[in-house]
Amino acid sequence: MNRVLIASPLRSYTGGAAEVPGHGATVDEVVRNLDGEYPGIRFRMIDEQDRIRPHIKFAVGTTFVWSLDTPVEDGDDVHIIAALSGG
């Protein structure tokens, strides 16, 4: 099991929770399992071509990752970070 730290703009999907449990051997599996628990959250992070959206970043532990195929070990924290914009 992993701990997934949810960026504030995505917390409407998790009922306001900043942390949720996650499961999966890769970032993709963790995100797909999150979507099963919190429908619609994956589409906010991953586009129709299965690419990470430009305003979303993932980190496993303290390392930023750029691929959904990145392995996730049991006990790793998975951070979902969303860029904010405005003017």
Query: What CATH number is attached to the domain comprising 59?
Result: 3.10.20.30
- What does the angle CA 48 – CA 34 – CA 64 come to, to the nearest 5 degrees? 75
Q: What is the pLDDT of residues 43-80, one digit of tens each?
A: 999 999 999 999 999 999 999 999 999 999 999 999 99
- Which tokens in the block code for residue 57? 């970043």
Listing DSSP states for 3-35 in one string gives EEEPPGGGTTTTTT-SEEEE--SBHHHHHHHHH
How much is the pLDDT for 83? 87
User: Looking at residues 8-18, what average pLDDT do you find?
Assistant: 97
Q: Measured between alpha carbons, how far is 34 from 74 in angstroms, rounded to an integer?
A: 16
pLDDT band per the 50, 70, 90 thresholds, residue 86: low
Question: With contact defined as beta carbons under 8 Å apart, do 78 and 27 qualify?
Answer: yes
Is pLDDT of 84 > 60?
A: yes
Structural domain harbouring 70? 2-82
Tally of domains in the chain = 1
Mean pLDDT of 9-27: 97
- Residue 78 inside a domain? The answer is yes
**Structural domain contains residue 87:** no
Instruction: Name the DSSP letter for residue 64.
Output: E
Q: Look at residue 48 and tell me if it is in a domain.
A: yes
